[in-house]
Amino acid sequence: MKRKPIDRNARAERKTIDRALSRLGLCSRTEAVEFVRAGRVRVNGLVVRDPERWVVPERDRIELDREQAKERAKLYVALHKPVGYVTTRSDPEGRKTVYDLLGDLGAWLAPVGRLDRDTSGLLLFTNDTDFAARLLEPTSHVAKRYRVEARGRIDDTEFERLRRGVELSDGRTLPARVALLRRSKERTLFELTITEGRNRQVRRMLEAIDSKVLKLARVAFGSLELADLAPGAHRELLARERNALRR
């Protein structure tokens, strides 16, 4: 008897249901897990409650809330986050969130990284999970440039420490770039470019040299510049901007 040829691509097409929903641009993987466990997801007409259930999106009919789950158009948005907003979809303390500024763009969007409540500047959003994952991958070393206003006069010796890396509680920082803009006895204004994404990293780096951040704004993420985007405003990225970030 002649054996049926093995489809060696079939396994590559398979995805867990939570990843499939996320890849379609409908939600985050965390949200997808919640949807599945709540019984809101069907595969080929049957409710599934296991987020790790295997599916082949090109073949299986996947439904969310009884509507066929179709891939959303990819959306890439830059926001100028003002101080006072938290980078989360909802806040149990009732604080303002970045999603209050985005409004309804017709698609689920997730931030590519975060800015803390007291930091302003460029924040990127997308529903392209592969795109976001590449930018956030630690080995990608995407440069983030910040404008820092710090307490006191930071001398060249301390700047050199920042350039070489300083010891933090979670390890030594990678080399950074520093560009002095202005300094006096009371304050120092400079730009700091880092290639990591640790929690409150810039603030902790300044503490490591016995200084303190007074104002902090991210002015560039990779090749993308904040430029003249007004505080609280957002815009879609141009094709050339998206392509530059992919390089």
- Domain match, 81 and 128 both: yes
- Domain match, 172 and 234 both: no
- Domain match, 115 and 17 both: no
Residues of the domain holding 216:
143-221
- Domain match, 96 and 132 both: yes
Q: Is residue 124 part of a domain?
A: yes
DSSP 3-state percent helix, strand, coil across the chain (nearest 5): 25, 30, 45
- Domain match, 55 and 103 both: no
Number of structural domains found in the chain: 3
Q: Is residue 5 part of a domain?
A: no
- Residue 118: partners with Cβ closer than 8 Å, 6 or more residues away: 83, 216
Q: Is residue 4 part of a domain?
A: no
Who has greater pLDDT, 101 or 23? 101
Strand residue runs (E) in 139-241: 144-151, 167-168, 171-172, 177-183, 187-194, 213-221, 224-225, 234-236
Residue whose entry in the numeric block shows the structure tokens 């040299």: 209
Instruction: Catalytic residue, from 100, 116, 118, 128: name it.
Output: 116
| Model confidence, pTM | 0.83
Q: pLDDT digits over 175-223, tens only?
A: 999 999 999 999 999 999 999 999 999 999 999 999 999 999 999 999 9
Q: pLDDT digits over 122-171, tens only?
A: 999 999 988 999 999 989 999 999 999 999 999 999 999 999 999 999 99
Sign of CA dihedral 45, 49, 52, 53: negative
- Would you state the pLDDT for residue 1? 45
- Domain match, 92 and 107 both: yes
- Domain match, 125 and 237 both: yes
Residue whose entry in the numeric block shows the structure tokens 């350039």: 163
Check pLDDT > 50 for residue 8.
no
Tally Cβ neighbours within 10 Å of residue 225: 14
- Domain match, 235 and 114 both: yes
228 is catalytic: no
Q: What is the mean pLDDT of the chain?
A: 92
Q: How many residues does the chain have?
A: 247
- Domain match, 171 and 199 both: yes
- Domain match, 29 and 86 both: no
